[in-house]
Chain A
């Protein structure tokens, strides 16, 4: 009713969903409890014991009655009780769409027939999308596995191991290589030593005195 007052489109969507709810609920009801016993059951189905049925009966009774509780007296957005009343036009509309939903479900599922398959064939793409839950899960998995794990994480780990670590290793390899390459300078020949000594002195003298 709040939606009817506020925005007709939302009301329309909600109205349609109410009908759908009735439809799928009774589809389930008929598929499970009516029709022929086709399957082989591992465990022969039997009536539930009392400790299960009693709570169910209790809850079912409550469901029937709770709708009549005037919630407005107890719960409201500003704490002040306000009176709610039944707007008969909207109420009858919603009961109507519910009954229509039940009827359609009864026609399609009360007895085993080929109507559901024909409907599914008629709206094949929509059926497929619904069956695959609109591929939401695949979408999320794609983001996680393909994007985050493969496209981001793998390169990051590779980058860390090979580029950054590699840079540090490169520094050490470089030091080692330079060290190895200049090894020959220490030749063991005194003539080389004297020559280096002399050259060193001359370089310093030239740099200091002449420049």
Chain B
């Protein structure tokens, strides 16, 4: 049994350990922090071991694999393994779960249930990233779906019931497409020789007949694309993020939307590369529209969370855009963007949550001059904003640069025009980010009640600082991450 399964077992133990806590805030916090810290340590250990294995010359596609035959009749295995991309994603998830716990330090009411659902959500997320078997992947994807409904519906704000239901039903719609795609893949793999399998590595080796690929690639891509906020299936995102509580937004925008990008790459593109090459133009158009559409939509918004939600649509659209460019550089950029944007948007949502907790408004017209009142939070917000618009030295620049360089490697008109269009979104991002920063942080104080607010508490500072350190370190020394990712891409035979 590979130690990777610990990623699923630890949150499960957390879930169980919460049951006897009752309403003891101290006990709840202890269990949550202990579990999150354990997961963080585990992900660092995994990264270290992975790099050690790779430098020792192990060039297997997936490392630390473990395979348990589950349903022999349907060739379903519980199969786990990681490669560089998965390791990066596991790191991202651990960091965000860890900081999310601190950002929800004072969750009320029913904190125990909140953390229990949060643990269930993290089981789904971790399981998804370590799965190598398609059935297990679908299983963990669906596990990550339902806790969102309860987390938003019970602990959310604003139109929470509507947003929660819309989010859940739309993501369920995406999973309908996805399950159909997965079933299609399973049956087409074995069509010729009876070797049905759900294992992704074996499917990638055997290949799928092109006629089946043409049907199931769009289905799978759309299925995962709904979660990756591809236009026009992105509308669950603004309302969902705006109504969700802070840590849930952090985890959702930071990690769950990356499930979409990861799934698109691992399942849709890697297993069906020929169809991907043929049909990429359709989805490039859609994702290209997402990128600028999200950016333009963000300009208009007056609510901080909506601005960030549209910004996430734009950045996650960029991830899918880069994956569809189907070359190594762009895909490296895509995974780095997943990592970078995940951390960045988690930081944003954490800060917005903290500001909202103090000012009780998210409307930018009602806030101003917060820099003098809450300097720590304001400076962190500025840093987050700069990372979002791609300032060199922070992670956003590295990932966007890689994506655009990779995209521009295509020499034909279509790809280049779309690349130029996507690049212009950086300018629009700068517009809405700087506008918001100027409006709420600088200038005069709009509401005299705001003048007496407190700055961040120790647990909030911890969460924010951890995220900023990660963003800055990727920005300043990206080769650590990009080598990790690129090492796993060169061996793939899909280019």
Q: Quick check: do A and B touch in the complex, using CB within 8 A? A: yes
A interface residues with partner B (beta carbon < 8 Å): 144, 148-149, 152-154, 156-157, 160, 164-165, 167-168, 172
Name, among B166, B234, B293, B300, the residue most crowded by chain A CB atoms within 10 Å (CB to CB): B300
Query: Do residues A160 and B301 form an inter-chain contact, with CB atoms below 8 A?
Result: no
Chain B, residues 155-175, CB within 8 Å of chain A (1/0): the string is 000000000001001100000
The 21 listed contacts between A and B (C-beta, < 8 Å) are A144-B431, A148-B296, A148-B428, A148-B431, A152-B296, A153-B296, A153-B299, A153-B300, A154-B300, A156-B300, A157-B300, A157-B301, A160-B235, A160-B238, A164-B232, A164-B235, A165-B235, A165-B239, A167-B232, A168-B166, A168-B235
- B242 → chain A closest CB, angstroms: 12
Q: Are B296 and A156 in contact (CB under 8 A)?
A: yes
- Cα A18 to Cα B296 in complex, Å, equals 45
Across-interface contacts of A164 in B (CB, < 8 A): 232, 234-235
The answer, yes or no, to whether B297 is at the interface (CB within 8 Å) is yes
Complex Cα distance, B74 from A80, in Å, reads 77
Q: Give 13 new A-B contacts, CB below 8 A, not counting A153-B299, A164-B234.
A: A148-B428, A153-B297, A153-B300, A156-B293, A156-B300, A157-B299, A160-B238, A160-B297, A164-B232, A165-B239, A167-B232, A168-B166, A168-B170
A interface footprint on B283-309 (CB within 8 Å = 1, 0 otherwise): 000000000010011011100000000
| List of B residues within 8 angstroms of A149 by Cβ | 299-300
Across chains A and B, which 5 residue pairs bring their CB atoms closest together, nearest first? A157-B300, A153-B299, A156-B296, A165-B235, A153-B300
Q: Which residues in B have their C-beta under 8 angstroms from that of A172?
A: 169
What chain A residues lie within 8 Å of B234 (beta carbons)? 164
Inside 8 A of A167's CB, which chain B residues have their CB? 232
Known A148-B431, A168-B170; judge A156-B235 contact (CB<8 A).
no
CA distance A164 to B235 in the complex (A): 7
Residues of B bordering A, CB below 8 Å: 166, 169-170, 232, 234-235, 238-239, 293, 296-297, 299-301, 428, 431
- A160 close to B293 (CB less than 8 A): yes
For the complex, give the distance between the alpha carbons of A18 and B428 in Å: 39
A residues less than 8 Å from B293 (CB atoms): 156, 160
Nearest CB of A to B22, in Å: 39
**Residues from chain A with Cβ under 8 Å of B166 in the complex:** 168
**What is the bound-complex CA distance between A160 and B297, given in angstroms?**
8
Q: How far is the CA of A153 from the CA of B234 in the complex (A)?
A: 17
Q: How far is the CA of A172 from the CA of B170 in the complex (A)?
A: 11
Chain A residue nearest in CB terms to B239: A165
Across the interface, which residues of B come within 8 angstroms of A156, CB to CB?
293, 296-297, 300
Q: How far is the CA of A167 from the CA of B231 in the complex (A)?
A: 13
Identify the interface centre among B234, B239, B293, B297: most chain A CB within 10 Å of its CB: B297
Complex: A164 Cα to B232 Cα, angstroms: 7
A157 contact from B170, B239, B297, Cβ within 8 A: B297
Question: How far, in whole Å, are A68 and B170 apart by their CA atoms in the complex?
Answer: 75
Instruction: State A196–B415 Cα separation when bound (angstroms).
Output: 58
A165 / chain B contacts, CB cutoff of 8 Å:
235, 239
CA A158 to CA B238, docked complex, whole Å: 13
Give every chain B residue within 8 A of A152 (Cβ-Cβ).
Answer: 296
Complex interface: chain B residues within 8 A of A160 (CB): 235, 238, 293, 297
Q: When chains A and B are docked, how far (Å) is the Cα of A95 from the Cα of B169?
A: 79
In the complex, chain A residues whose CB is within 8 Å of the CB of B299: 148-149, 153, 157
* Contact partners of B235 in chain A: CB under 8 A: 160, 164-165, 168
Q: Which residues of A contact B169 (CB under 8 A)?
A: 172
Contacts of A154 in B (CB 8 A): 300
Assembly CA distance A154 to B169 (angstroms): 28
| Distance between Cα atoms of A160 and B428 in the complex (Å) | 17
**Roughly how many angstroms separate A156 CA and B297 CA in the complex, as a whole number?**
6
- Cα A7 to Cα B169 in complex, Å, equals 70
CA separation between A132 and B235, bound complex, in Å?
Answer: 45
Instruction: Give the distance to chain B from A180, nearest Cβ to Cβ, in Å.
Output: 18
Which residues from chain A contact B300 at a C-beta distance below 8 Å? 149, 153-154, 156-157
Whole-angstrom CA separation of A123 from B211 in the bound complex: 75
Complex interface: chain B residues within 8 A of A153 (CB): 296-297, 299-300
Most buried by B among A144, A164, A167: A164
Q: Residue of B at shortest CB range from A149?
A: B299
How many angstroms from the CA of A164 to the CA of B233 in the assembled complex? 8
Bound-state Cα–Cα, A154 to B235, Å: 17
Bound Cα distance A165, B236 (Å)? 8
- In this complex, the member of A149, A156, A165 whose beta carbon has the largest number of chain B beta carbons within 10 angstroms is A156
